[in-house]
Amino acid sequence: MRLTKLKLAGFKSFVDPTSVSLPGQLVGVVGPNGCGKSNIMDAVRWVLGESKASELRGESMMDVIFNGSSNRKPVSRASVELIFENLLGRALGQWSQYTELSVKRTLTRQGQSDYFINNLKVRRKDITDLFLGTGLGPRAYAIIGQGMIARIIEARPDDLRVFLEEAAGVTRYKERRKETQGR
C-alpha cells in the first residue's frame, strides 16, 4: 500500500478543500515557517486514529478544526481523506479486492467523530486493524517525527519491543490473541 494523495478541508490551516499529491517514492515538502508542513503530517496521523490532542500539537481535539484567521471565520468541521494505492492487494480481508483505498476521518465542533473506508462508515478499530503490522499507524515508525530517533535510541527495552514487533509484523497477531482471550 502506498499513500498517493491527501485531501484536506477545515483541518488546521487548510481551511479550503486542498488536495496534496504524493507522486513518487520520495516526496519533500518545503515552505516557509508556519506554512503548514507539519500540519500535513498531523493530518495523516489524525486519520490513522490518533486520539491524543497533544500528539497533534493541540490542547484539545477541537484544535484540529480551522479556528479562524485575520480574514476568515472559523469553520465547524474538519475532514481529511487519505488515498492509498493497493496494487498488490496488501490490505487484508474485504479490502484486498480494491486497487485504491480511501480512508477518511471527520470531526465536527459538536464532537461528532467519524471514520470511513471507501466511503463506508467504519469504527476507529477498523482503521487501526487495516494498518496494524504495516508500520503505518498514528504512532508507528513509518512516520518519523522530530525527536523520534532519539526516543528510539533512548527507549526502554519494553518500548523498543513495540517497534520491533510492529516491524516483524506480529502486532496484528498479538492483538487478535488478546481479543480472543477477552483482554
Using CB distances below 5 to 8 A depending on partner kind, what does residue 66 bind out of ligand ATP, Mg ion, none?
A: ligand ATP
Residue 140 neighbours by CB under 8 Å, 6+ apart: 131, 134, 166
Q: Does 31 bind ligand ATP (CB under 6 A)?
A: yes
The interface region with ligand ATP, picked from 27-35, 84-92, 100-108, 164-172 by CB under 6 A, is: 27-35
Number of H helices, E strands in the chain: 5, 6
Among candidate residues 103, 123, 121, the one with its CA nearest the CA of residue 46: 103
Which of helix, strand or coil describes residue 120?
Answer: strand
Residue 52 is assigned to a ligand binding site: no
Q: Is 32 annotated as a binding residue?
A: yes
Contact 166, 135 (CB under 8 A): yes
Q: Supply the minimum distance, in Å, between the C-beta of residue 31 and ligand ATP.
A: 6
Among Mg ion, ligand ATP, none, partner that 63 touches (CB below 5 to 8 angstroms by kind):
ligand ATP
Binding site for Mg ion (CB under 5 A): 37-38
Annotated binding site for ATP: 32-39
